[in-house]
Chain A
Amino acid sequence: MSLRIVVCVKYVPDASGERGFADDLTVDREGVDGLLSELDEYAVEQALRIAEAAGGDASVTVLTVGPEDAREAVRKALSMGADQGVHVEDDDLHGSDVMGTSLVVASAVERAGFDLVVCGMASTDGVMGVLPALLAERLGVPQVSLLSEVSVTGGVVSGRRDGDTASEVLEASLPAVVSVTDQSGEARYPSFKGIMAAKKKKVESWDLEELDLDAELVGSAGAWTEVDTAVERPARSAGTVVKDEGEGGLRVAEFLASRKFV
């Protein structure tokens, strides 16, 4: 039986550029360079490793939801080695909150067919880190999330989760949703061969109609949260910077004392 893996990825504004909000308080994507979210590269890597461990009897489908540019995130994952792509794009998706997004992703994952869904721990723009859990809830399958190590054997996915106070070893039967952290293993770079091969791989394009979803359930119309204001934080007023002339440590201690930290 072949193992059907779906990796969910997101195309996000480059964190090293100027990020901001558009007039409607959604993330401004105009004039901002985007890229495959770094944290999703780890998910692609783990999906590929799991597929490789399955001895070729596995397929990796990379899935993204987003505007036209988002296809670039799919391309990147394909050049790393994923087999095929799905890009869900629809104007009515603009303004979706995480509830709407998780509905679309769950529908697309179901349509694609899956035994295992692999996600990154969070996006690098919204950074909520709840999509994998919402997917599991919607799909009615176990979540094995925030893993620093993951493997699949005999229809069981297992992994290690390092929390604030304890480290846990977890397992669940497939089908399941997993998410992996940046500790799961360095993501591979696309090879030239991989980049060339990716050009020939198929990327399907789906819209809401194909997913049988009402426009009212997604986008701004279907959002269950609303951003009222987004205000740019004033740059921190320049503090005092002094050169160490042998008394740097004493200077800092004086400063700390003036702020009542010591």
Chain B
Amino acid sequence: MADVLVVVDHVEGSVRKPTLELLTVARRLGTPVAVALGAGAGRTVEVLAGHGASRILVSEAGEYADFLVVPKVDALHQAVKLVDPVAVLTVSSGENKEIAARLALRLESGVVTDAVDVEAGGEGPVAVQSAFAASYTTRSRVTRGIPVITVKPNSAPVEPAAAAGAVEELAVEFSPAARGTRVVSRSARESTGRPELTEAAIVVSGGRGLGSGENFALIEALADALGAAVGASRAAVDAGWYPHAHQVGQTGKSVSPQLYIASGISGAIQHRAGMQTSKTIVAINKDAEAPIFDLADYGIVGDLHTVVPQLTEEVAARKG
């Protein structure tokens, strides 16, 4: 079967969940060959082999951390030449999309970003995307070269699948452009202990209706009871109530969890653009006319300051 190149997203060797979803997608198209770059890449092998990677190409050069984007493009370009895959898959993120696009240009191949699913088609992979704040579903193909597709988190289940997982050192010759953008310093985001917003199965979000930053404690408590990530509307972020990294919406992060709970969020188009593909949506809002109720599978018209704590308590009780 043809090889499919899967770009591994990892932090110091710890493979992030969307990459495991990507391996599920890759198996529909062919045999996954994983590429892991940067410090700790070698430590990804066991997990990748356990999720279907037949080969794992590893390169731990320091350039990936010291310079932006181009070193990884160089590495993937060489991996593609080595493997000659039928497609390259990577997890959608700001940086990965940039890497994917530059790689595609070098390969003279088309690129599709933010697929919510990828299907095997008669003429190559078909990428399913969601357009215009999820009001349309499109199906696209790459018509030239090796399809390079970025796939959003939560697009496929994680399925264990034993594979050979043969490890190979990827020899990378960096281009002169690789040293163009220097990373002067890097500080890891402080961990909240909660799942990362874009990859969480459940997201609990708060908006203007909270009334203050302190009241985000209500949202956090519910999130913790559900093992969820915390999101915020633009209004809440602009008011300084919660960090921008948690903003859900057109100018923030786009999420597609199994369950999305919106509290005190009216559901302006900006916000809907970032959460409308959530599988199940629950809304809690005082205003019965709030547009968020048009999307909700279940809605409560009421004061979140009483509804949310009651919900948190009941969830905790049911979980025992």
Residues of A within 8 A of B (CB): 15-16, 19-21, 25, 38-39, 97-99, 102, 121, 124-125, 127-130, 132-134, 136-138, 140-146, 148, 158, 161-173, 176, 181-183, 223-233, 235-236, 238-244, 247-253, 255-257, 259, 261-262
Contact = CB atoms under 8 A, between A and B. Distances in A.
A42 to B, nearest CB: 9
A127 B310 contact: no
B142 A225 contact: yes
Contacts of B114: 127-128
Interface residues of B, number: 95
Interface stretch (B41-49, B50-58, B125-133, B166-174): B125-133
A255 B282 contact: yes
A262 B101 CA distance: 40
B251 A253 contact: no
B112 A225 contact: yes
A205 B311 CA distance: 59
B299 A239 contact: yes
A248 B250 contact: no
B224 to A, nearest CB: 13
Contacts, number: 266
Nearest to B286: A244
B141 A225 contact: yes
A258 to B, nearest CB: 9
Interface string B304-320: 00111111111100110
B241 interface: no
B269 A15 contact: yes
B143 interface: yes
A132 B281 CA distance: 34
B98 interface: yes
A195 to B, nearest CB: 25
B314 A143 contact: no
A184 B184 CA distance: 19
A202 B61 CA distance: 49
A181 B250 CA distance: 12
Nearest to B101: A130
B143 to A, nearest CB: 5
Of residues B101, B109, B186, B270, which shows the largest number of chain A Cβ atoms within 10 Å of its Cβ?
B101
Nearest to A132: B98
A241 B95 contact: no
A99 B186 contact: no
A256 B112 contact: no
A9 B134 CA distance: 24
Contacts of B294: 235-236, 238
B188 A15 contact: no
A144 B68 contact: yes
A220 B73 CA distance: 27
